[in-house]
Chains A and B, each alone.
Chain A
Amino acid sequence: MEFYLLALRSLTYAQRARDILGAAGIRAAVIKTPSGVSPKGCSHSLKVRSQEAARAAAHLRSQGINIEKIFAATGSGNYLEVPL
């Protein structure tokens, strides 16, 4: 399954962002950010479906949520940072 990760600064922030997306009808799950793309150590991300990633990112930004980075899952546990 293809998905995107929206990396956020904290668990609570990610939960808040998830709720904002949920209210807009966009499903997202809070997960721990994979170590390989989490340079500061432990953090949390929102996992969203690829086809909803751009809308999700735009909606969060419109609500004042700061997305640190966005990654596309490329399969086999690899992630590619993408501009969205």
Chain B
Amino acid sequence: MSGVVYFDNAATTLCKPKAVPEGVRRSILHCASPGRGGHAPAMAAAEVVYRCRKAAAELFKADDPEKIVFTSSATHGLNIAINSLVRPGTRVAISGYEHNAVTRPLHAIGADVRVAAGRLFNGEEVVENFRKELENGAKVVILNHVSNVFGFIQPAEEVARLCKKYGAAMILDASQSAGSVDIDAGGMGCAFIALPGHKGLYGPQGPGILICGAEPKPLIFGGTGSESKSQDMPPYLPDALEAGTANVPGIAGLLEGINYVNQTTPAAIMAHQRKITRHIGEKLQEIGGFRVYLARKSENQAGVLSVVKEGTDSEETAQILGEMGFAVRAGMHCAPLAHRTAGTLDTGTVRISPSSFNTLRQADMLIKALSRL
């Protein structure tokens, strides 16, 4: 990593398990395209892709690997999910911490969007505000499981129960939770769960996953290697949503990343990341001069920490840290709604997000650097 101390894992995990690049390399050398031939390289690709579906189904407790659809990103998956359920005027309740990957598609469709905003780290308030929106007729609920800005773990299971009670469809954006928070796709009964491969699952940039619990509407159309004589997309998963050549090298790397998460366990990964963010947050509070967005109860926050150096522009703080050899992300984090809800829209924040591979020693180096600003 050329000497950079990398704390921008909420954007993309940079340090990967060794098996990830090896999987990508093997796939490039030996795998062709699944479903596009009966020869050995095509079948080898098909096996890699299927093994990744199975590993993901196991990790997310999906009852059937066919419900695991590979997308080009979590954003792609969210667009499929939203376009499957939302029409112009559909009343959609979203949390106060949604990413532009949710708000922009809703805006483009012309949905009737209601924000069920709860205060930061206040899960009870989030649940109560969703209840109100569901009583007022929301048909679709979209919930960011973990805020990409603040690490706020939103009460997904409680909101899913409410959706069942009121007959609403739920889309879970698991972009920041996948890999470090247990997700029971089968138990929650979400219509869709979208997630990326390149963050907490430690895969390469590229493949994402959409877990389908409802009937999807394809967003793109094309070859699938099945029912080729028909001009309609195959009506079954995953083919209905997987037009075009699969990103086999990306999926091969993702398979190794998921294997790592399955072996390490999301709970252990969360404990490690949380230990680091709480250490940094508590030290910065002691030092003073920082607004530190640290949950009082640690169980309400994942391994993502936002801070603001008083009197200093967040982008400038990140720029100086970058020059000192630390990679963090500043600004809006593509989630202006989250900043509006938390009251940081004018300043943005500096986000510190460790991975499984960061150490407390690196955290101390960052604290020292921040204290010198």
User: Which residues of chain A have a CB within 8 Å of any CB of chain B?
Assistant: 9-13, 15-16, 19, 30-32, 39-44
> Which B residues between 34 and 90 are near A, CB-CB below 8 angstroms?
34-35, 37-38, 43, 46-47, 50, 53-54, 64-66
Query: A30 near B238 (CB under 8 angstroms)?
Result: no
Q: Which residues of A contact B50 (CB under 8 A)?
A: 11-12, 15
Query: B234 near A32 (CB under 8 angstroms)?
Result: no
Which one of B112-120, B158-166, B221-229, B305-313 is at the A interface? B221-229
A9 to B230, CA, bound (A): 14
A13 to B234, CA, bound (A): 13
Query: A10 near B236 (CB under 8 angstroms)?
Result: yes
Q: Which residues of A contact B65 (CB under 8 A)?
A: 12, 15-16
A40 with B230, Cβ < 8 A, contacts A10-B236, A30-B46 known: yes
A42 to B228, CA, bound (A): 6
Contact residues of A: prevailing secondary structure: mixed
**Minimum C-beta distance from B258 to chain A (A):** 17
**Minimum C-beta distance from A27 to chain B (A):** 16
Query: A11 near B34 (CB under 8 angstroms)?
Result: yes
A42 to B227, CA, bound (A): 5
Contact residues of B: prevailing secondary structure: loop
A42 to B43, CA, bound (A): 14
Query: A41 near B43 (CB under 8 angstroms)?
Result: no
**Minimum C-beta distance from A23 to chain B (A):** 13
Question: Nearest residue in B to A12 (C-beta to C-beta)?
Answer: B66
Known contacts A9-B234, A16-B66, A44-B226; 5 additional CB pairs below 8 A are A9-B226, A11-B239, A12-B66, A16-B64, A40-B228
Q: Which residues of B contact A19 (CB under 8 A)?
A: 54
Using a Cβ cutoff of 8 Å, how many contacts connect chains A and B? 57
Q: Which residues of A contact B54 (CB under 8 A)?
A: 19
Closest 3 CB pairs of A and B: A41-B228, A41-B229, A32-B38
Pairs across A and B, CB under 8 Å, 17 listed = A9-B236, A10-B234, A12-B50, A12-B53, A13-B66, A15-B46, A19-B54, A30-B46, A31-B38, A40-B228, A41-B227, A41-B228, A41-B229, A42-B228, A43-B226, A43-B227, A44-B226
Query: B35 near A42 (CB under 8 angstroms)?
Result: yes
Question: Nearest residue in B to A11 (C-beta to C-beta)?
Answer: B35
A10 to B38, CA, bound (A): 13
Q: Which residues of B contact A44 (CB under 8 A)?
A: 35, 226
Q: Which residues of A contact B228 (CB under 8 A)?
A: 40-42
**Residue among A9, A15, A43 with most chain B CB within 10 A:** A15
A44 to B228, CA, bound (A): 12
Question: Nearest residue in A to B230 (C-beta to C-beta)?
Answer: A40
Question: Nearest residue in B to A39 (C-beta to C-beta)?
Answer: B229
Query: B229 near A30 (CB under 8 angstroms)?
Result: no
**Minimum C-beta distance from A43 to chain B (A):** 6
**Minimum C-beta distance from A61 to chain B (A):** 17
Question: Nearest residue in B to A15 (C-beta to C-beta)?
Answer: B50
**Residue among A9, A11, A15, A19 with most chain B CB within 10 A:** A11
Query: B46 near A10 (CB under 8 angstroms)?
Result: no
> Which B residues between 189 and 231 are near A, CB-CB below 8 angstroms?
225-230
A43 to B229, CA, bound (A): 11
Query: A10 near B239 (CB under 8 angstroms)?
Result: yes
A16 to B228, CA, bound (A): 21
A41 to B1, CA, bound (A): 48
